[in-house]
Amino acid sequence: MAEGKQPGQPDASNFVLLEELDQGEKHGDGRCSYGLEDPNNDTMMYNWTGSIFGPQHTPFDNQLYQLRIYCGDRYPVEEPKVQFVTRITMPGVDAQTGEVSFKDIDGLERWSRKYGIAHVLRCLYNKMLRRESRVRQIPGPDFPLPK
C-alpha cells in the first residue's frame, strides 16, 4: 500500500476510472451504457456493469445484453476483463462462460491505455453488426449465465 494511503482510498490510477464514471453517467449514446456495479461499496472502482442494446436488423435486434466488467489495479495499462451475463453466441465470446476475447474483437486486439470502457462496448456493438455475427443463431436473453 502506498505510504500515507488509507485502506480503500483510491490512488492516482483511479482518476482514470473517475473520468470514465463521469463519462458513462453523462454521455450515453443509447446503444451502450455502463456504470459501477456497487457505487456505495466499491471504493476502488473495480467492478462495473455494462449494457448493449442489440443493433436493429440483426439477430440481436431489440435485446438488451448485460455485461460484467472488471478493471483491476493495473487498468488502464492492462485491459479489463469483460463477460456477457446475458447469453450470446458471437465470435470472440466464449459460448459457455460469456468471456470476451479481446484478440478476436476488431479495435480491441491491441489494447491501449487510451481505450476505456465506452470503447470496449462500442467495439462489441460493432462486432454485432459484422456479417460473421449475423449468420449465427443466438439463444434468447432469457438464459442468463450463472453468477
Residue 38 burial by Cβ neighbours in a 10 Å radius (0-12, 13-18, 19+): exposed
Instruction: Give, as one character, the DSSP assignment of residue 55.
Output: P
Give the pLDDT band of residue 17 (cuts 50, 70, 90): confident
Give the pLDDT band of residue 103 (cuts 50, 70, 90): very high
Spell out the residues 6+ positions from residue 47 whose beta carbon is closer than 8 angstroms to its own: 36, 37, 38, 68, 69, 70
Instruction: Give, as one character, the DSSP assignment of residue 77.
Output: T
Give the pLDDT band of residue 132 (cuts 50, 70, 90): confident
Quick: pLDDT tens for 45-90.
999 999 999 999 999 998 999 999 999 989 999 999 999 999 999 9
Longest dimension (CA), the chain: 55
Instruction: Give the pLDDT confidence score for residue 15 in this predicted structure.
Output: 81
